[in-house]
Amino acid sequence: MSGAVSGGPLLSVRDARVGFGTVRGLLRAVDGVSFDLQAGRTLGIVGESGSGKSVLVRSLIGLVGTGSGAIVGGEVRLDGQDLRGLSAASFRHLLGRDIGIVFQDPMTSLNPVMKIGRQIGEGLRLNRGLDSAAAARRAVELLVEVGIPEPERRASQYPHELSGGMRQRVAIAIAIACEPKLLIADEPTTALDVTVQRQILDLLQREQRERGMAMILITHDLGVAAGRADDIMVMYAGRAVEMATTREIFRGPRMPYTEALLRSLPRLTDPTHTRLSAIPGRPPDLARRGTGCSFAPRCTYRSGRCEAEEPVLSREGGRGFACFNPLGTSGGAGA
Amino acid sequence: MSASAAEPAIVARRGRPLSWALALPLAWVALVVFLAITADWIGLPDPAAQELILRRKPPSAEFLLGTDNLGRDMLSRIIYGGRTSLIVGICAPFFGFLIGGAIGMSAGYFRGKVDLLAVGFIDILLAFPTLVLALTFVAYLGQSLFNVTLALGILSIPAAARVSRANTLAWANRDFVLAARTIGASNWRILTREILPNVLPAMFAFWLVAVSVIIVAEGALSFLGLGIPAPQPSWGGMIADGREALDVAPHTALIPAAVMFLTVLSLNFLGDMVRNLVDPRRSAL
Amino acid sequence: MSDLLRMTDLNVEYPVGGGRHVHAVSDVTLAVRKGETLGLVGESGSGKSSLARALLQLPPPKAGSVLFDGNELTQMRGEALRAVRPRLQMIFQDPIASLNPRRRVAEIVAEPLVVSGVRDPAERTRRVRAVMEAVGLDPDVVWTRRPHEFSGGQCQRIAIARALVLEPKLIVCDEPVSALDVSIRAQILNLLEDMKARFGLTLLFIAHDLAVVKSVSDRVAVMYLGRLCEVADSASLFATPAHPYTAALMAAIPVPDPDIPLGDTKLRPGDPPSPLDPPSGCRFRTRCPHAEARCAAEVPPLREIAAGREVACHFPLIG
Ligand SMILES: Nc1ncnc2c1ncn2[C@@H]1O[C@H](COP(=O)(O)OP(=O)(O)OP(=O)(O)O)[C@@H](O)[C@H]1O
Ligand SMILES: Nc1ncnc2c1ncn2[C@@H]1O[C@H](COP(=O)(O)OP(=O)(O)OP(=O)(O)O)[C@@H](O)[C@H]1O
Ligand code: SF4
Ligand SMILES: [Mg+2]
Ligand SMILES: [Mg+2]
């Protein structure tokens, strides 16, 4: 992430853009996002609903096609290979082999009429050339690995016969079956209970470490990001507004939105009835964006410049933030 | 981080223009309704006036749509027939929807025994062969505009009940219905104020389709000689009359058939459109 | 403090065909004291919403009693029950679904007044405007609009206004902020706290997020698979959880601070059991690190282990 290029980043994204034509005009869901991700690291993408997290990562892997009326721009490289302009067929190949994906709702990503063992083995047959018997054996091994009891029996069941937590484990098994270099997890635990969420996140983290995969973990829960990510990118209204290591984000946010978000969280360490510092207003309408910083209307540190000009994600000592009055500077908002 | 890269060329889709698929059916239905209402004042010849010398004339400057077997003016008969067909077509499903809608909404809202009873009743009605039932009914009560309308209205009860029941089931589980009950609203108030406004759009869309079905059904009754009694013209009756002379004067059957076809098609189109248009959540985007 | 609401041995079951039942709420005894906020936490499917609806008799519970403000609600029907309802209101999880999409905001907020027989339109308008202003809505802006024109946070404000307009004594809040964004959540939580102070409300606050519950609740009740595990005042519950499930829940919460190491839930591996066929004895025993033979044999009753602390466990962690 932090510009220190040794062997180059695994994933490099430059100026990613996604627009949707809607009846109210062009909706800029993702508006010029750039980042690098090194092998073996976990990038947490946080931001509220509609900030463009899902659209961003889906556009990287060709899942927001021009077919849906979306306009996709920018440059994406995985291991040096340019992913833009890849045919749909090559993407399919890439998705099973080099990139694994885990979605929020495993029920929609699993095939309801195919046995679990077969779904896990499918990628191995297609991408690794395993025969059915070998793929089935490997599927059972993967079920053991993701912590599913009685793997042989489970392999011959259908998704609806499993609990939500188990389905997500199966989705993870499918995602890691072909040893991808990059694992993308889009809110993998939002639909699950805290205790189950904990187990799934532990599993994801263990797999990521053991296999040296890079991981993109999308979440709107700052607690999840704090515990699991090495670096964090904060998104607001389709833009990356702050990027830094996890500790830097939580210890000393520079962008006022990040700070406001952290301060608005209720904390277990505070006594009951502690007043929360709420962020006034709400996020802008992406189809009607004016000039200037999109957080300006809600920002307590805004100046005249914030409404006139759009701050770009500046780089300072390896971290980035898009703000004219960053926190912790003498000229700016101060602490 | 360079934000300088060229913006992708973007063609934003503006608001959809009123499409032909909506405009043409709307114009046709509006024309039919307008003529049916104003028929008495636009200087049409008497639709019942017979002129046997002038029978089965093809369309000409004098008789725009020609004349029928008895030498009556086709244009006038089409327009007055449209009036009859529309009265039957509009009133019959309206009656059916009033009763069927009430049955369906009660079934969907109260569930349990009410639902069982209602569904049983609907299934019994559906088990009768539709047309036979209408025929029996008209034959028994006598042929009149009112009886034909009533018979066809009863036939539309099951469909109306089903549509309203399915919609009510979907809406009755919403939290706003629960919210209405927490403030102590009566069932009647919940049904009329909370659920009905949400069920109506779907009912309206379906009603448009039902109008077209009933117009065809009235035609079928006429064909079997149990439609609106002569000399009052109706499209179905005209097609039935024209059938005798199909070889010598095909226009006497084909013109009313074409008018009926266009009207039914237009109503179906509109029904589908309305269903999509009136949904507040969809029009929000 | 006296109890405003007291439920005793409440049971809620849903038939699921084949003669089987979901045991959504089993033998819950719990009181809400006048003027307090009682938090109710538990995982998805633990029966929180079922309990809330049973309190409001929507539908009435299968068994048990609900004593509210001197009225035994389970014995009341029709008109009598309707007369009590204005004092007992509810706020829902999905703010958009809880508002009728076809009605205007002013109508929605005025509806409780109409139903409870406030005939004078001027009086209704005055009260609707006042309550809108209280919850931070501009009456002139929102008056004739419909719910879909508002964001989730604004819709929740409208729903709160509707619940407040009759000046109830108790509001049951069923996950009122779960569907809202992080940046909006604090606004609504603050609003609820303000309204509670201003109108002298008592709240039953349901949530699955422990940090949210702690920030608003004086006391907290923890539910697992339809049964209560633990009831205690908020400070001691979070300082020293007594039930193994409460402890696991607290260890599992992701804390928004990278320097706090992840806690150990000590849970046995495996998924939560199905409410169709709950485990015998203690329902938590299949995942509990302290479970012994007795846990399978006997249902642990909710008993007081210290002043104001009730726990349903044979081997509580304290006391
Ligand atoms: N197919 C589409 N057509 C039009 N707009 C879309 C489409 N898909 C997404 N959007 C819009 O793009 C924006 C970003 O959506 P996205 O799903 O990326 O948000 P997100 O950050 O993932 O939010 P969440 O936390 O709710 O998942 C939203 O405003 C959304 O309405
Ligand atoms: N109408 C119903 N019919 C059948 N089962 C139901 C019904 N409503 C709830 N249940 C079941 O009862 C149990 C308790 O559900 P309830 O909605 O009360 O849980 P909850 O604690 O509110 O969960 P959540 O956090 O997901 O809202 C669940 O197992 C649920 O599946
Ligand atoms: S009763 Fe037994 S199983 Fe239940 S929580 Fe206590 S120790 Fe665990
Ligand atoms: Mg998303
Ligand atoms: Mg619930």
Residue B207 lies in domain? 96-285
Residue with tokens 């007055």: B80
Residue contacts between A and B (CB atoms, under 8 Å): 44
| CATH code for position C126 | 3.40.50.300
What confidence category does residue A3 fall into, taking pLDDT thresholds of 50, 70 and 90?
A: very low
In the predicted model, is pLDDT for residue A17 greater than 60?
yes
Q: pLDDT at residue C224 above 70?
A: yes
- In this model, does residue C284 exceed pLDDT 80? yes
The residue with tokens 């191995």 is A124
What average pLDDT does the structure give for chain C? 93
Q: Does A312 touch chain B (CB under 8 A)?
A: yes
Residue B192 lies in a domain: yes
Q: How far is the CA of C44 from the centre of ligand 5 (A)?
A: 7
Q: Name residues 1-20 of chain A within 8 A of B (Cβ).
A: 14-15, 17, 19
CB pairs under 8 A between A and C: 134
Distance from CA of B177 to the nearest CA of C (A): 8
Compute the nearest-CA separation of C210 from chain B (Å).
24
Q: How many domains does chain B have?
A: 1
**Which contacts (CB < 8 Å, 24+ apart) does range A135-141 have?**
A138/A177, A139/A173, A139/A177
pLDDT score, position B6: 31
Task: Give long-range contacts, CB 8 A cutoff, 24+ apart: A84-87.
Answer: A86/A62
pLDDT of chain B, 285 residues: tens digit per residue: 333 333 333 333 334 545 777 888 899 999 989 988 888 888 777 777 777 777 777 777 777 777 777 778 888 888 888 888 889 999 999 999 999 999 999 999 999 899 999 999 998 888 888 778 888 888 888 888 888 889 889 888 999 999 999 999 999 989 999 999 999 999 999 999 999 999 998 898 888 888 888 888 888 888 787 777 777 888 888 888 887 777 877 888 888 889 989 999 999 888 888 777 665 444 333
CB contact under 8 A, A320 and B15: no
> How many angstroms separate the alpha carbon of residue B184 from the centre of ligand 4?
39
Q: Is A271 exposed, middle or buried (0-12, 13-18, 19+ CB in 10 A)?
A: exposed
Q: Which ligand has the shortest distance to the CA of C279? A: 3
Q: What is the pLDDT of residue A331?
A: 44
Chain C contact set for B197 (CB, 8 A): 100, 102-103
The tally of domains found in chain C comes to 2
Which CATH number belongs to the domain containing residue B197 in this structure?
Answer: 1.10.3720.10
Q: Are C115 and C257 contained in the same domain?
A: no
Residues within a 6 A CB radius of ligand 3: C 243-244, 282, 284-285, 288, 290-291, 295, 300, 313-315
Q: What is the CA radius of gyration of chain B?
A: 24
For a pocket test of ligand 3, which of C299, C313, C317, C318 has the largest count of ligand atoms closer than 8 A to its C-beta? C313
Q: What is the largest CA-CA distance in chain A?
A: 68
Domain match, C279 and C130 both: no
Residue at C229 is within a domain: no
pLDDT digits (tens, 9 = 90+) for A286-312: 888 778 899 999 999 999 999 999 898
Q: Which residues in A lie closer than 8 A to residue C190 (C-beta atoms)?
A: 275-276, 278
Q: Is B181 on the interface with C (CB under 8 A)?
A: yes
CA A248 → CA B132, C241, C258, C282, C313, distances in Å? 81, 32, 10, 44, 42
- Which of C184, C217, C250 is the C-terminal boundary of a domain? C217
What is the distance in A from the centroid of ligand 3 to the CA of C282?
6
Task: Please report whether residue C222 resides in a domain.
Answer: no
**How far is C239 from C233, CA to CA, in rounded Å?**
10
Is residue C252 located within the same domain as residue C199? no
C281 and C195 in a common domain: no
Would the CB of A52 count as within 6 Å of ligand 1? yes
pTM over 0.80: yes
Q: What is the DSSP letter of C311?
A: E
Domain shared by C196 and C244, yes or no: no
Query: Domain for residue B28, yes or no?
Result: no
Long-range own/partner contacts, residues B264-268 (CB < 8 A, 24 or more apart): B264/B212, B264/B213, B264/B215, B264/B216, B265/B25, B265/B212, B266/B24, B266/B25, B266/B26, B266/B28, B266/B29, B267/B25, B267/B29, B267/B208, B267/B209, B267/B211, B267/B212, B268/B208, B268/B209, B268/B212
Q: Does C292 reside within a domain?
A: yes
Q: Is residue C26 domain-resident?
A: yes
- Residue A330: the pLDDT is 46
Range of the domain at C158: 3-217
Contact criterion met (CB < 8 Å) for A195 and C249: yes
| Mutate: best of B110, B178, B182, B187, partner C, most C CBs <10 A | B182
Measuring CA to CA, how many Å separate A209 from each of A175, A188, A203, A215, A287? 15, 17, 10, 10, 40
Q: Is the pLDDT of residue C186 over 70?
A: yes
| Banded model confidence at residue A68, pLDDT cuts 50, 70, 90 | low
Predicted confidence band of residue A329 (pLDDT cuts 50, 70, 90): low
Choose which residue among C12, C48, C62 to substitute to test ligand 2 binding: the one with the highest number of ligand atoms within 8 A of its C-beta.
C48
Phi, psi of C236 (to 5 degrees): -75, -35
The per-residue pLDDT for B183 is 92
For the CA of A235, the closest atom of ligand 1 is 21
Answer yes or no: do A247 and C259 touch at CB < 8 A.
yes
Between A108-122, B206-220, B241-255, C164-178, the lowest mean confidence (pLDDT) is in B241-255
Residue C33 has pLDDT above 90, yes or no: yes
CA nearest ligand 3 atom 1, residue: C313
Please indicate, yes or no, whether residues C11 and C132 belong to a single structural domain of this protein.
yes
Q: B110 CA to middle of ligand 2, Å?
A: 21
